[in-house]
């Protein structure tokens, strides 16, 4: 006897839509406790950041209004978790009674009634997902269709899991530890070959940033000053911060990108410092470290589904606290901190977040980075 699998039209529609959004549009399932007969999917890079496939029967407008109330409450929670202010949400209802009419919706919410595939011929839906009808057609039937959809979704989720594991698995921190060793060696050499890290002459000899020297051709100071420190407390504080933050950025972006982020953030910090602190000897890795925080901020934005709580509870507070500290405490080069932070974010834009940014995004990031560096170089070196 031939085995057959009878699938209800509603379940078939849910399967086809889930297959489309997960395998074709890179959406990921959202796990929500206490929600039945609904599939929630997210892709924070899509026009509709959340797609909701509703399978339970909506039999009247009162039930539809309650569904909208429940949706609004859940979306508020997702916004907080993902550090998102505006979130366009698409709800596709696959089992709606004939007497149900479309209720008034909030600005960022869109609802589609789609009891059948032909109901997907909605102009607003096709504008964002023009291939949805084509991609929800299958030659397979019955158990073969069920097997294909299940296997495709499983394989897609496995591939996504492997990519995430590759990105979030801790890797070696060779560049971070090399920078720490260089800073420590240079600090020791200032005492062996000079008069110590607190001596102005020694700092200048070893490459500290000072307006009239840097602006008169000694441009190397924009970078060398990031490997100098004034006093043991300054060194220990910055090296501990680099030891904590550096390995994370190096692991996420890779060694080459990490090196570029660190060096360009250091140069950005030194250049902005020249604009506001022209006649002050400036040294330290803190500007470059702020650049690493900027890189974490940029990375965390694109992976805020996984790092949303870390962004809110750790990265953003650390940046704000240190900037406020720099404004209220004398002797802190806050211009360098801000310059490093901006440099880190913009360099990360140009390099791209792993597995997130396409070529066009990186080109736009490179253009913004070039404009920024052109502006601060002009302000620091061209304006008298």
**Which residue numbers are catalytic?**
286, 337
d(CA 108, CA 127): 16
Supply the DSSP string of 351-374, one letter for each residue: H--TTT--HHHHHHHHHHHHHHHH
- Locate 255 and state its tokens: 């060694």
**How would DSSP label each residue in 211-264?**
HHHHTTT-TTHHHHGGG--SSHHHHHHHHHHHHHHHHHHHHHH-HHHHHHHHHH
Question: Within a 13 Å sphere around the CA of 289, how many CA atoms are in the beta-carbon half?
Answer: 24
Token readout for 176 is 């971070």
Look at strands 38-42 and 50-54 and give their pairing.
antiparallel
Angle, alpha carbons 199-200-204 (nearest 5°)? 120
Q: How far is 69 from 174, CA to CA, in rounded Å?
A: 52
Site of tokens 């979130």: 87
Half-sphere exposure of 11 (CA within 13 A, CB side): 10
């Amino acid at each position: 006897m031939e085995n057959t699998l009878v699938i209800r039209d509603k379940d078939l529609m849910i399967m086809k839509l889930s297959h489309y959004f997960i395998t074709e549009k890179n959406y990921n399932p959202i796990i929500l406790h206490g929600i039945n007969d609904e599939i929630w999917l997210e892709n924070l890079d899509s026009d509709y950041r959340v797609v909701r496939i509703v399978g339970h029967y909506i039999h009247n407008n009162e039930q539809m209004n309650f569904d909208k109330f429940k949706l609004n409450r859940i979306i508020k929670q997702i916004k907080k978790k993902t550090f998102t202010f505006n979130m366009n949400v698409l709800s596709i209802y696959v089992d709606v009674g004939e007497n149900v009419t479309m209720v008034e919706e909030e600005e960022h919410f869109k609802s589609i009634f789609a009891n059948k595939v032909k109901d997907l011929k909605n102009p607003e839906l096709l504008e964002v997902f023009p291939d949805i009808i084509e991609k929800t057609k299958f030659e397979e039937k019955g158990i073969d269709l069920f097997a294909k959809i299940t296997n495709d979704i499983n394989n897609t989720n496995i591939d996504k899991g492997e990519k995430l594991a590759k990105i979030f698995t801790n890797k070696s921190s060779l560049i971070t530890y090399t920078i720490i060793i260089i800073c420590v060696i240079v600090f020791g050499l200032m005492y062996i070959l000079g008069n110590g890290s607190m001596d102005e002459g020694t700092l200048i000899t070893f490459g500290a940033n000072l307006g009239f020297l840097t602006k008169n051709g000694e441009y190397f100071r924009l970078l060398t000053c990031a490997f100098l420190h004034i006093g043991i407390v300054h060194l220990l504080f910055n090296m501990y911060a680099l030891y904590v933050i550096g390995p994370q950025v190096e692991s996420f972006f890779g060694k080459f990108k990490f090196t570029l982020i660190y060096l360009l953030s250091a140069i950005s910090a030194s250049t902005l410092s020249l604009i506001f602190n022209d006649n002050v000897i400036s040294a330290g890795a803190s500007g470059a470290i702020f650049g690493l925080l900027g890189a974490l901020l940029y990375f965390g934005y694109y992976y805020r589904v996984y790092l949303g709580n870390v962004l809110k509870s750790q990265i953003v507070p650390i940046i704000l606290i240190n900037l406020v500290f720099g404004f209220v405490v004398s002797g802190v080069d806050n211009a360098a901190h801000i310059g490093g932070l901006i440099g880190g974010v913009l360099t990360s834009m140009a390099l791209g977040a792993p597995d997130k940014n396409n070529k066009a995004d990186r080109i736009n990031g490179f253009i913004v980075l070039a404009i920024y560096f052109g502006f601060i170089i002009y302000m620091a070196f061209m304006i008298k």
